[in-house]
Structure 1
Amino acid sequence: MSEQLVATLERYVEERKDSFIASLQQFLRHKSISAQNIGMEECALFLSDTMKSLGIETKILRREGAFPVVYGELKNPSATKTLLIYGHYDVQPPEPIELWDSDPFEPVIRDGKIYARGATDDKGNLWATIMAVKSLRDNEVEIPINLKFFFEGEEEIGSPNFKAYMEENKELLSANYTILCDRGIHESGRPQMYLGHKGIMSAEVKVKGAKRDVHSGQAPFIPNAAWQLVWLLNKLKNENEQIMIPGYYDDVLEPSAEDIALMEKIPFDKHEYCDIYGIRDILPGNDGVDALTSLLFTPTATINGLTAGYQGKGNKTIVPNEASVKLDFRFVKNQDPVKCAEMIRQYLQDQYNGEIEIDLGDVRTPSKVSAKAEIVQVSIEAAKEVYKQDPVVWPMLDGAGPMGLFGEILDAPAIIIGLGAPFAFANTHAPNENIGVEDYLNGIKLMAVIYYRYGKRGEA
């Protein structure tokens, strides 16, 4: 039945591709910029109405001070499995507008790609998951699982209410597994999925010297906050990219044999990578599995921005009295982010002999699912059928996100499946964001096959 289903979906999606494209374009016209509180309610209502029109039982979840979550459910009384689909309907601000080749909220097609803000991140991905429902129902194919959808509106501002929404609706959201549809296919054109991600914590550190900026003639007497901060940061991480906090790596897990086997199959050419990003070499200086191990299984401490002293035209001869840095710390599996946060705070305080403010943000824990998990095997099999080639399966994502909370709160471990444009070319968060028309249409077919295959797997 699975091969027959794929053939049916291929014919159906091809016959109706203009309609599928038009419906995504309509979704993309809704601005839904969470950082600026533009169009959020209108977009949530549009999404909810569309889901209802597809026969999905839908409600809007609300909490004070938060943008709404659009929840949907398809119940199958005979089903023994439940799958939760996560996505987000909010998008990044489009600025700088002048660098777009077309209106970011009037989607256009050029060279087989749909250009608009949110095309890949995450509206194209999200839309494919619900169009998959339409595709199965229009072809009178029973969806043999209970299927739930959780679409939030705050991902692009750090999901401040995500955990609370999950805790308040724990029973409603209960499932066996979760699929996050975000990011895109691999640059090689192969389908792509991620079985986990790093944890993360943002931080801001501020050091203070004199009570005001001072004439730089007094530099021999007055502590320079900018230099003090530079010296402090130099103690945090060395030139070999190693975090200098004692005991920081004690709990870090080495990649397993399963992880190494997956990485051996990931196409990675460091020279091509360097060309894409305009660098001479990657920091580890190695290649292949060794490079990917560094990328996926190494904790990081990253300076995101530095602020100190005068930044205007010309020069201003002062000793800055204040300097600050914004950082992010990424954690890997087996590290306890709460423990790491306290180690970071204590280390910075111990290393600085002066007035210092340390503001640590909320932590997100690392997440990981085994390649042997049922949902992973189903997704791999479905990807092979739809794309006619093996998927690229990453044991981890180098980034961070909410995946860990699905396992922690709902006991519904999560994986990521990319349905959008390849990350290197999607212009995610940048001007001219895009999704390939074929990427989007294949995403519809892939998710439909996953819904069907997951329910049928294990049947006699």
Structure 2
Amino acid sequence: MENEVILSIEEKVDEELPNLIASLQEFLRIKSISAQDIGMEECALFLKDTMESIGINCKILEKEGAFPVVFGQILNPSATKTLLIYGHYDVQPPEPLHLWDSDPFEPAIRNGKIYARGSTDDKGNLWATIMAVKCLLEADIQIPINLKFFFEGEEEVGSPNFKAYMEENKALLEADYTILCDRGVHESGRPQMYLGNKGITHAEITIHGAKRDVHSGQAPFIPNTAWQLVWLLNKLKDENENILIPGYYDNVSEPNVEDLHLLRNVPFDSKEYSEIYGIRDILTKNDGMAALTSLLFKPTATINGFTSGYQGVGNKTIVPNKASVKIDFRFVKNQDPIRCVELIKDHLQKNFDGEIEVEIAEVRNPSKVSLSAEVVQVVIEASKRIYKEDPIVWPLLDGAGPMSLFEEILGAPAIIVGLGAPFAFANTHAPNENISIENYSNGIKLMASTYYLYGKRE
């Protein structure tokens, strides 16, 4: 029976594919740029209207000073299970425009790929999750679960109101598990999923010196804030990528047996990776399991930007009176991000006796779901049926995000299922962002199969 249903899903998606592509193109035409406050309400209403036309009950959730959230649900009175689907309808600014081969908001199809801003991040993924409902209903396949959707419009600006939206709508969003669809398939074409992610916080460190910039002839007398900040950063991390804060690694644990089992099945070639990104070699100077263990289970401190002094055309001989740096800190499982923040502040204060400002943003905790979790096993099964090969299951995502909040606030642990183009080729956040028609079609089939199989699983 299940095989027949999955076959019906695949046939319906293939039959409707021209219409499914056209509807995605219509969605992609809407400029929903959160960083520039362009088209956000228009896009939210378009999304709501489309979902309602499919048969999903929808409402717009609003907060003062925030972009709207689109909430939808389709309930089955006899269902005992509930899935929450998360996505975001906002996109990155398209600039630099001259590097696009076609208008970023006029979706173009070339060589089997749809090129447009948001095609993979995250409109293409999001659209696949609701088109899956459309195809199920049109194929007369009952959805055997309660299905809820939470689509925000602030992910590309750091989701500043995400937590508040969740806390204020806790009962509405109640679910057993959450699936985030905000990544792509593996570069090999195999499906992939992530069982968690790292935690994160952002810091801005600013050093103040003289009351104004000073002629550099006075350099022997005047403290140079740029040099002072460089020296301070050298006390934060060494050339071997080790964070030098006392106690910072105290609770960091090695990957467990399950983690190692999953990593053995993740294809990784450091030479191929280096070629893709145009570097001589990866920093860890190793390959396979050792490299992936460093990627996923090692805390990081990354300079995102450094600002000081004159940076215009030509020279300006000054001693800068101010220097600042932006850093992100990523935390791994068993680290306490709150304690780490205190250790960071204490370390900086002890190693600099001048005027220093340290601003640290709210933390996001690490998150992890077990391989044995029901939702994980269902997605693995659905992936095998649709892609005809085993999915790549990552124990963690190397990045960070709001995954932990789904469990902390809703009690609905979250995993990431990639539906878009492979990360190395999707041009996410860059010109010529794309998703292949095959990626999109398979994503619809995968999500429809997941909805069905999750409800049928004993």
Give the structure-1-normalised TM-score: 0.99
Instruction: Specify the alignment match of 2:21 in structure 1.
Output: 21
Instruction: Specify the alignment match of 2:394 in structure 1.
Output: 394
Provide Cα deviations, 1:150-183, integer angstroms capped at 9, x if missing partner.
Answer: 0000000000000000000000000000000011
Distance in 2, Cα, partners of 1:408 & 1:15: 41
Instruction: Specify the alignment match of 2:232 in structure 1.
Output: 232
Distance in 1, Cα, partners of 2:2 & 2:253: 38
1:276-287 to 2 correspondences below 5 Å:
276-287=276-287
1:92-241 to 2 correspondences below 5 Å:
92-241=92-241
Distance in 2, Cα, partners of 1:141 & 1:9: 9
By how many angstroms is 1:342 displaced? 1.1
Secondary structure at the aligned position of 1:263 is classed as helix
Provide Cα deviations, 1:5-47, integer angstroms capped at 9, x if missing partner.
Answer: 2211222111111100000000000110000000000000000
Distance in 1, Cα, partners of 2:179 & 2:14: 25
Secondary structure at the aligned position of 1:198 is classed as strand
By how many angstroms is 1:279 displaced? 0.7
1:285-300 to 2 correspondences below 5 Å:
285-300=285-300
Distance in 1, Cα, partners of 2:23 & 2:317: 58
By how many angstroms is 1:374 displaced? 0.4
Distance in 2, Cα, partners of 1:85 & 1:315: 53
Distance in 1, Cα, partners of 2:390 & 2:6: 16
Instruction: Specify the alignment match of 1:303 in structure 2.
Output: 303
Distance in 1, Cα, partners of 2:338 & 2:258: 28
By how many angstroms is 1:89 displaced? 0.2
Percent identical pairs in the alignment equals 74
Distance in 2, Cα, partners of 1:11 & 1:136: 11
Provide Cα deviations, 1:352-387, integer angstroms capped at 9, x if missing partner.
Answer: 110001011111001000011000000000000000
Distance in 1, Cα, partners of 2:26 & 2:455: 31
Count of equivalent residues? 458
By how many angstroms is 1:2 displaced? 2.1
Instruction: Specify the alignment match of 1:6 in structure 2.
Output: 6
Distance in 1, Cα, partners of 2:112 & 2:244: 48
By how many angstroms is 1:334 displaced? 1.0
Instruction: Check if 1:60 corresponds to 2:60.
Output: yes
Provide Cα deviations, 1:34-86, integer angstroms capped at 9, x if missing partner.
Answer: 00000000000000000000110100000110000000001111100000000
Provide Cα deviations, 1:169-214, integer angstroms capped at 9, x if missing partner.
Answer: 0000000000000110000000010000001101100001111111
Q: Which amino acid aligns with 1:303?
A: I
Q: Which amino acid aligns with 1:209?
A: G
Instruction: Check if 1:428 corresponds to 2:433.
Output: no
Gaps of 5+ in 2: none
Instruction: Check if 1:345 corresponds to 2:345.
Output: yes
Instruction: Specify the alignment match of 1:371 in structure 2.
Output: 371
Distance in 2, Cα, partners of 1:3 & 1:254: 40
Secondary structure at the aligned position of 2:120 is classed as helix
Is the 1:2–1:449 contact (alpha carbons within 8 Å) kept by the matching residues of 2? no
Distance in 2, Cα, partners of 1:9 & 1:79: 20
Instruction: Specify the alignment match of 1:457 in structure 2.
Output: 457
Secondary structure at the aligned position of 2:235 is classed as helix
Secondary structure at the aligned position of 1:188 is classed as coil
Secondary structure at the aligned position of 1:9 is classed as helix
Distance in 2, Cα, partners of 1:64 & 1:404: 25
By how many angstroms is 1:313 displaced? 1.0
Provide Cα deviations, 1:232-258, integer angstroms capped at 9, x if missing partner.
Answer: 000000011000000100111210100
Q: Which amino acid aligns with 1:87?
A: G
1:379-390 to 2 correspondences below 5 Å:
379-390=379-390
Secondary structure at the aligned position of 2:248 is classed as coil
Secondary structure at the aligned position of 2:78 is classed as coil
Distance in 2, Cα, partners of 1:9 & 1:85: 19
Q: Which amino acid aligns with 2:14?
A: E
Q: Which amino acid aligns with 1:83?
A: L
Q: Which amino acid aligns with 1:285?
A: K
- Alignment RMSD: 0.6
Instruction: Check if 1:273 corresponds to 2:273.
Output: yes
Secondary structure at the aligned position of 2:200 is classed as strand
Instruction: Specify the alignment match of 1:83 in structure 2.
Output: 83
Distance in 2, Cα, partners of 1:121 & 1:253: 32
Instruction: Specify the alignment match of 1:359 in structure 2.
Output: 359
Q: Which amino acid aligns with 1:145?
A: I
Gaps of 5+ in 1: none
Distance in 1, Cα, partners of 2:98 & 2:74: 43
Q: Which amino acid aligns with 2:323?
A: A
Q: Which amino acid aligns with 1:367?
A: S
